[in-house]
Every structure is written in C-alpha cells, then in structure tokens.
Amino acid sequence: MKRATYILLLFSLSRCFTPDVYLPEVDSEKINLTLNIDEPSSFIKLGYPTSTLSKQKYNWQLKFDNNSSSWGVYTNPSQPIRVINTTINRFELINNKSIDGNTIWQYDEVKNNQIQSSIGSWGDFNFSNPESHKDVYVLNWRQDSVEYYFKFQLLDAGINTYHIKYGPLDGTVTYTDSIIKDDIQLYSYFSLVNNIKINSIEPQTDDWHIHLNYQVDSISKYSRIPYSLTSTENIGLFPSAELNHKHVEIHIDSLLDYEQINYIEAKNFSYEKSNSVIGLFYLKDQATNEIKLNSRQNLILRSQEEYYVIRPINLIGNSVNNYTVTIEIKKL
C-alpha cells in the first residue's frame, strides 16, 4: 500500500513541472556545384532534398522584367555588355559616327544587392499607360570572336508589353518586336543577334530559389572579391548569387557560427528582398587573385515562413573561371 501511495505521489508531482522545450531536429545536406564561365549555370530549389537544375547556355543579350508592377531591361552579365545612352530619340540618326574614343560606356551594376540597369530608368512606367523617353541606346559586346554594335530603343510599354526597336549600328536592317510579360518566369530573354525570344534560360519561378552565376562590375568597387578579367581594364566578372526575389528574402550573417543559427535565431533576423549578391561565400587571395572560401559568411533565406541557412564548406580549384564549391544547406 505504501509503495502504491509513493508511486501515485511521484506521478502527481511530475505533472507540476513543464517539460523542457526542444528544438526539432533539422534537415541538413551537402551539394556540389561546378561554376564555369563557358558552361550552364546552376539553379537551386530549396527543400528536402534540395534539387539543382542546369539550364541551357544561350547567347542572349537582354532580359525584361516580368513583374506586373515593375519595368526593367537588363543585359547579359557573362558576355559582358557595355551601353551608352545617346540621349537622342530618333532611331535613324544613330550610326557608326555616334561613338568615338571619348564615349563613356556603362554596365549594369549591383547596388545594395539590387541590379541597376544601364538601359534607362523607367520611372514613368509607374503610370497605367506608360511611355518611355525613347532614348536610343548603343550596345557593344564580343561574342565568338565577333565584335557587335547594336542600337536599341524602347518605344513604349503597355500594361503588360514592351515594344522595342533594334538593329545593327550600321543601319543595314531594323527590327521591331513585342515582349509580353509572362509571370511564369522572372524574366523574358531576348537575342538581338538571332532576333528571337528564348524560353530555355530560366526555370519557372516556382522551381528555383537561388541561381549561382557571374555578374560584371567594377574591380575597384569589389577589391576583396576574386574576379575574372574582361576586355575592359577596370571591369571584372565576379561569382554571384541571383535570388528569386518573388519567393525569398535574405539575411547575410557573419557573426554567428553556422551551428548556432536555429529557427528561433532566424526568426529574429531582419530580411530584405534582393535580386543579386556579388561574391557571396568567397574572398580573394590578395597576392594571386585566386578564389578562396569565406567560411564566416552564412546566407539565411526565408521563403513562406520556412527558413534555411547555407554556408560553403569546400572548394576545388582556384580560378574564378572554373571551380567546384560544396555548400551545406540546413532547413531550420
């Protein structure tokens, strides 16, 4: 009887204490990704397991923002493409005499993790029936050992359509075309050389979160990040991460160890929309310009109240042009 009373007492007392709260065991995995300037880039879809997808490499020159509430025309960073605004809106007046040795070229560049286009600032597109300023731009790039000079004009932009005019700078032929916004992809891609729209560059928006690729920008601006040389002395091609800003927000942390970051920590971070981060996970060997890992940099992603933390853990190769990185992804 005493034994039964003792057991009952212990059972009653145990109900007075709140059990410890344990964080759930997290899913973690490692994937290898090879980056090569001449090969397809890698798109990553987070989940468990994580999946990767390499899309066809194609020599496109322009991509058009498909977001219903924004307008933007961007250039292919891997070529790279340089641009001037002639500030003239009569297409037929722009020819080979429109550029000379004093021409100041511009490139798309990253500012505060956002791509700033060298082709216009389309603030007037915020209206319901927008029209561009119709400035004619000259684009120059080298492709397969051929030097190209094209002129490009954004004639106007309807509710969901870009109307464009373009052709070689020598005026031998002129084209007009329409790019219809299609929200199944973040961007619509276009080849000026081949006069075609291309649908095979980017997966559908629901099929990726991160795109590992390259981005052209100023060498002096990113002096601590490894780069590949381009034909222009002060412009380099940097390893970059493009973010699917339709589905993810990011926080970059270099204070906490990877093991310290859990669901509770992640919920307290501040997050921002971003479409590109230059040099994520990488540092430059100052003596050789060779690529090395930044082991203290963690990328935290928030997607529909799911949280992921990503870090680099291994690097094979020392050239920005061709290397393989192993990243670890932990779902919190």
DSSP characters for 73-93? EEE-TTS--EEEE-----GGG
119-140 tens-digit pLDDT: 876 555 555 555 556 889 999 9
> Are 102 and 209 found together in one domain?
no
> Are 175 and 239 found together in one domain?
no
Domain end position, chosen among 132, 163, 198: 198
Which structural domain, as residue segments, surrounds residue 95? Answer: 62-198
> Are 192 and 267 found together in one domain?
no
In the chain, how many domains are there?
Answer: 2
> Are 122 and 158 found together in one domain?
yes
> Are 134 and 212 found together in one domain?
no
Residue 5 counted as domain residue: no
Domain end position, chosen among 178, 198, 218: 198
- Among all chains, which residue has been given the structure tokens 């373009």? 166
Torsions phi, psi of 226, nearest 5?
-65, 150
> Are 149 and 37 found together in one domain?
no
Cα–Cα distance measured from residue 311 to residue 39, given in angstroms and rounded to the nearest whole number: 23
Residue 228 counted as domain residue: yes
Residue 11 counted as domain residue: no
Write down the pTM of the prediction.
Answer: 0.84
CA 59 to chain centre: 18
Residue 18 counted as domain residue: no
Per-residue pLDDT of the chain (332 residues; tens, 9 = 90+): 555 544 444 445 444 444 444 444 556 788 888 888 877 678 889 887 777 776 666 788 999 999 887 788 999 888 789 999 998 889 999 999 988 888 889 888 888 888 888 887 655 555 555 555 688 999 999 887 889 999 999 887 777 888 899 999 998 999 999 999 888 999 999 999 998 998 888 889 889 999 888 899 999 999 899 999 888 888 899 999 899 988 999 999 988 888 889 999 899 999 998 888 998 999 998 888 899 999 889 999 999 889 999 999 999 988 988 899 999 999 98
Contacts of 191 (CB under 8 A, 6+ apart): 58, 59, 60, 61, 198
Residue 1 counted as domain residue: no
Torsions phi, psi of 16, nearest 5?
-85, -15
Cα–Cα distance measured from residue 293 to residue 158, given in angstroms and rounded to the nearest whole number: 45
Composition of the chain by helix, strand, coil, percent to 5: 10, 45, 45
> Are 69 and 186 found together in one domain?
yes
Cα–Cα distance measured from residue 297 to residue 161, given in angstroms and rounded to the nearest whole number: 40
The residues facing 52 across adjacent strands are 44
Of 110, 61, 145, 165, which is closest to residue 277 (Cα–Cα)? 110
> Are 254 and 302 found together in one domain?
yes
Residue 304 counted as domain residue: yes
> Are 179 and 74 found together in one domain?
yes
Tokens linked to 31: 């994937």
Residue 10 counted as domain residue: no
pLDDT given at position 129: 54
pLDDT given at position 13: 43
> Are 37 and 100 found together in one domain?
no
> Are 178 and 214 found together in one domain?
no
Of 320, 200, 298, which is closest to residue 254 (Cα–Cα)? 298
> Are 194 and 78 found together in one domain?
yes
Half-sphere exposure at residue 309, Cβ-oriented, CA atoms within 13 angstroms: 25
Residue 104 counted as domain residue: yes
Domain end position, chosen among 198, 226, 247: 198
Of 260, 250, 257, which is closest to residue 300 (Cα–Cα)? 250
